[in-house]
Structure 1
Amino acid sequence: MVSRDAEGGGTGERADGGLDDAVTSYSPFETNRWEGVAGVTLLVIAAGVIARQASLVLVGAVGVGYAIYAHYGDAPPARLAVSRSLDETAPEPGDEVRVTVRVTNEGSATLADLRLVDGVPPALEVVDTPARLATALRPGATATFSYRVRAVRGSHDWEPLRAVTRSPAGARERETRVAAATTLRCAPTLDAGADLPLRGLTTQYHGRVPTDVGGSGVEFYATREYRRGDPLRRIDWNRRARTGELATLELREERAATVVLLVDAREEAYVAPAPEAENAVERSVEAAGLTFTALQDGGDRAGIAAVSRRDCWLPPGAGTDHAVRARDLLATHPALAPTPDDDGVFYASVWLRRLRRRLPADAQVILFSPLADRYPVRVAKRLDAHGHLVTVVSPDPTSDRTVGATVARFERDGRVRDLRGRGIRVVEWGDESFPKAVAGASRRWDG
């Protein structure tokens, strides 16, 4: 089947003669399948006449018949009704989902040569039989085909099914696209899964920020005169025994930390050490989900943002409703899609100014980025300069398979050294699990 650019299209006709916005029909075009037959035929006939060879003239006559046959008839229009069903509309990542497509010929002409190609979302992988079918359909007849896709995080909408009909000789084709709204939504649960050692990622106090305000807490701050109603457990009994005076212990008050999880989701961040490996954005979103849950469990206020041309911002918060919003954002927001969106321009300076206006003054930032270029280094330095404690979690997308890959690894190592030289903590995350990478980095910082 010869492919072509979609041009000359328009709104298709329904079987009842009306217009249907879900159907787009294109003008027929030549496939060039019989290109050159007429010229060769004329050459053969001419050679037969010159050489006075009746056999050559006869062969040429046969060729004339093929040339006439090639230009006989047109590709019939396809008036189709399409339905698509999924055996699971909300699977977990990695689950295989069976897709069943039913196509009915609602026209009055027989489609003797019909090619169907389903519009599988680009992020989904077809794992068994192809998402296509070649068949013939009489008026009123229905063809069914099915295939399986492997679910990945995100909300995935099917594109229109492509139907191509051919003339009897295959010299002309006509393409029709029929939309059938179908969505697969894959939203993984936000579950830390294991004890995520976040103490080093934020402050030196796990889950809390110490202040210089006296109150209830765990660390001694000062003593003051006893006041009626003070808890007995906070009375300084040693002083009472020594001097007979009553005094109350003031402990250093702790407040919940405010942390914004920032995911680098620019096109440059969709890199992986091998074609079959997860890209760095997918790994970053997974790590952000684990971190968010651990922060919420520790009583901290967590928010989410993305380095992307699409606006993605969830202000820091806590509670069940906030966790639901975070889960939905990480799973389905277009800025964090499993595949890059190259439709548009990312205005780096505008994005950074907007982020700085949104960040609370006391917010810490955990930046998830493969450090594939200099921009995330610039972001980390700028936020650090404005008083935000920054930690960079960097999934390693490099390898040493080729000379180019080795050079890319060397350049990324230089960016890591640059950040650490500025005093910004970096967690390098290779093949190990994310909690293990965080634990290893925390031990180095504590040492």
Structure 2
Amino acid sequence: MAKARIIEDTAAALGHAREVDGQTLAEAMPRLIVAARRTAATVLHGLHGRRRAGPGENFWQYRRFTSGEPARRIDWRRSARDQYLYVREREWEVSHTVWLWVDRSRSMWFGSNLAGDAKIERAVVLSLGLAEILVDGGERVGLLGLTRPLANRRVIPIFADAMRIKPEDEGFAPSADIGARSEVVLFGDFLAPVDETIAQLNRLASRAARGHIIMIADPIEEVFPFSGRTEFRDPESGLKFIAGRAQDYREAYAERLAAHRAAITAHAKMLGWTLAIHRSDRPASEPLLALHARIGSLEAGAA
């Protein structure tokens, strides 16, 4: 997948970067699974649950009877203990499907010495952590192009194995299985040309899916700390670019990166999707907390 030309593709400066490959991702997977479980536990500890009233079999809560409701809904045993009438509410049990996609193209395998993880490693932790959180909340979760939707408590090792088997991809996975009640969450750096990204977002949105984009950035891509003679390399093609005075490119780079992100953000907003930028030196729990709130909000609005 060709990447946007931002100083020869926002390439990594040699001596400031490391890359991982499919083999080392497989080797790193046990560590990433532990990190994902720890992150999910942190998020779940601070949540109050996703339950809400609706059709189902399990008791949720009592609430005050509202004038105009059918009298058959009154719980007379509970009402007899108080001066008010109460209705027994059941928990909403209709789950919907959330599809996850992790960008595994070559630019995601970059990580600078300013971050603890390569971008692909952070994307894996976020996707596995979110899968566990959603399954814990009663949702069905699938990896686009890799697995069917699951509500299995072993979702983390199942998804990890799927990504081990296929450590790289060439773009957004097929969207044929996405249904009208589904949501998609995309984890990637989104450095591909804007028109290419927009076309793929439109293809997903045409399946009537709501969506959330997590744009993962290495801190070195944000601050562009280079100066003096610096060699940049395109992680996709291997092409190299030598800047005699790298600092002379800083302003143009920042402007182009901002314009690139603004175009994708505007299109996501037009589709009714959400977008957040996550730096890989920040805690993984931050975007997961935000995603939990967004997915829950959209789901409630659709019910």
* TM-score (normalised: structure 1): 0.43
Counterpart AA for 1:253: W
Give, in whole Å, the separation in 2 of the partners of 1:323 and 1:265.
17
Matched residue of 1:315: which SS? coil
**Are 1:409 and 2:242 an aligned pair?**
no
Q: Choose the corresponding residue for 1:225, options 72, 81, 98.
A: 72
**Are 1:153 and 2:25 an aligned pair?**
yes
Per the TM alignment, residue 250 of structure 1 is displaced from its structure 2 partner at its CA by 4.3
After superposition, the Cα gap between the structure-2 partners of 1:366 and 1:313, relative to the gap in structure 1 and judged at 3 Å, is: same
After superposition, the Cα gap between the structure-2 partners of 1:236 and 1:224, relative to the gap in structure 1 and judged at 3 Å, is: farther
Match of 2:30 in 1: 187
Give ranges in structure 2 of 5+ residues lacking alignment.
1-19, 225-248, 298-303
Matched residue of 1:249: which SS? strand
Per the TM alignment, residue 123 of structure 1 is displaced from its structure 2 partner at its CA by 3.1
More strand by share: 1
Match of 1:383 in 2: 204
After superposition, the Cα gap between the structure-2 partners of 1:443 and 1:300, relative to the gap in structure 1 and judged at 3 Å, is: closer
For the 8 Å contact 2:53–2:91, the answer to whether it is kept is: yes
Give, in whole Å, the separation in 1 of the partners of 2:70 and 2:267.
45
Give, in whole Å, the separation in 2 of the partners of 1:443 and 1:226.
31
Give, in whole Å, the separation in 1 of the partners of 2:113 and 2:256.
13
Counterpart AA for 1:419: A
For the 8 Å contact 1:223–1:248, the answer to whether it is kept is: no
Match of 1:424 in 2: 273
* TM-score (normalised: structure 2): 0.59
Give, in whole Å, the separation in 2 of the partners of 1:250 and 1:441.
27
Match of 1:173 in 2: none
Give, in whole Å, the separation in 2 of the partners of 1:257 and 1:282.
27
Match of 2:157 in 1: 324
After superposition, the Cα gap between the structure-2 partners of 1:236 and 1:360, relative to the gap in structure 1 and judged at 3 Å, is: farther
Give, in whole Å, the separation in 2 of the partners of 1:411 and 1:358.
33
Match of 1:28 in 2: none
Per the TM alignment, residue 372 of structure 1 is displaced from its structure 2 partner at its CA by 0.8
Match of 1:216 in 2: 58
Q: Choose the corresponding residue for 1:313, options 136, 143, 146.
A: 146
For the 8 Å contact 2:98–2:183, the answer to whether it is kept is: yes
For residues 356-385 of structure 1, give each alpha carbon's deviation from its aligned partner in whole angstroms, at most 9, with x where no partner exists: x22244222111121212344443344334
Per the TM alignment, residue 429 of structure 1 is displaced from its structure 2 partner at its CA by 0.6
For the 8 Å contact 1:213–1:252, the answer to whether it is kept is: yes
Matched residue of 1:433: which SS? coil
Q: Identity percentage over the alignment?
A: 14
Larger radius of gyration: 1
Counterpart AA for 1:291: L
For residues 19-73 of structure 1, give each alpha carbon's deviation from its aligned partner in whole angstroms, at most 9, with x where no partner exists: xxxxxxxxxxxxxxxxxxxxxxxxxxxxxxxxxxxxxxxxxxxxxxxxxxxxxxx
After superposition, the Cα gap between the structure-2 partners of 1:286 and 1:386, relative to the gap in structure 1 and judged at 3 Å, is: same
Matched residue of 2:100: which SS? strand
Q: Choose the corresponding residue for 1:123, options 17, 21, 40.
A: 21
Match of 2:222 in 1: 399
Matched residue of 1:281: which SS? helix
For residues 184-241 of structure 1, give each alpha carbon's deviation from its aligned partner in whole angstroms, at most 9, with x where no partner exists: x85332543144548xxxxx99445x575365353669655379xxxxxx54633797
Per the TM alignment, residue 262 of structure 1 is displaced from its structure 2 partner at its CA by 0.9
Aligned CA-pair RMSD: 4.4
- Corresponding pairs, count: 237
Counterpart AA for 1:333: I
